[in-house]
Amino acid sequence: MARARNIKPALFTNEILGVGHPLCTLLFQGLWLLADREGRLEDRPLRIKAEIFPYREADVDAMLHWLAHKGFIVRYTASGKAFIEVVNFTKHQNPHKNEKESEIPSVSEGCITSDFLGTRSEFIGSAPADSLSSDSDLLIPDVLIPDTHTLPVAENPAPAPSNVQVLKPKPKQKTESQIANSNTWAAYAHAYGERYGVEPVRNAKVNGQVAQLVQRLGADEAPEVAAFYVTINDSFFLRSSHEFGLLVARAEGIRTQWITGRQVNSITAQQIERKQANLSAGQEAAQRIMGRAKREANEFL
């Protein structure tokens, strides 16, 4: 039956567990949950695996051997049965008062240990469990001398065989729309920097606007129109510092100005309006004259 146990931050900075396989640390924690109030449990790797690693493959027996070799647990036999005792368990855990007494003999009661390093009975702490208020207390045996031998490192690693091909991940290819969006933004940003001396703001909203502009004008024209837009000296655009959203809102009209090579601002718009008004007035006057001439000609018929 699994039980609630204590865990301290020092577990994650332990230099022995830190260089071992992460599953060994997880197994070590799982043993606390399966152990009785004295830190003892049956040494049954298959059952332990079913309790701690029910959904993945794990060589629990090999990991138990590693934990015993490093001095975190003791694997021993008593009366022909195999048991495990977690080293210094009672020092670092506070079992619930209602947990029943251990029915498993301790390793110090004339039992036979089955693994090497860290299996002597004097390694088992007898001090009462300490509190969780201090982060400096270790969750591992603090009287053990750890194995300080480091793994050998080859000074001159042997070259890979000539017939071995090292596969490198292929760079992710951009789609045509992504390339068009990038080109459009690059053209706009360059023109913007030339005019204002700063980079324009680009965020998720702007990215969506860039994609919308490309869809409306096409991949070929969108970059040209975006760059042209920043050069327009219309007061409306200048007051907004040529915000990209205004380009999208008036994309087709700005494209027309770009194709014709003629910028339309408030002044030119007024000039066009006056010219159109004068033209309309002239056409109307001409129509009146022609109408009067027709009436006069009909009078002589």
**Bigger pLDDT: 252 vs 110:** 252
Tens digit of pLDDT for each residue in 17-51? 888 899 999 999 989 889 898 889 999 999 999 99
**Alpha-helical regions (H) of the chain:** 15-19, 22-34, 45-52, 60-69, 89-92, 176-196, 204-217, 221-231, 235-239, 244-249, 251-260, 266-299
Rounded (10°) CA dihedral 28, 30, 32, 35: -120
Tens digit of pLDDT for each residue in 197-245? 999 999 999 999 999 999 999 999 999 999 999 999 888 889 889 999 9
**Bigger pLDDT: 156 vs 134:** 156
Tens digit of pLDDT for each residue in 248-269? 999 999 999 999 987 655 565 5
C-beta atoms surrounding 7 within 10 Å: 13
pLDDT of residue 249: 92
* Range among 8-12, 129-133, 297-301 rated most confident: 8-12
Residue 3 clears pLDDT 50, i.e. is over it: yes
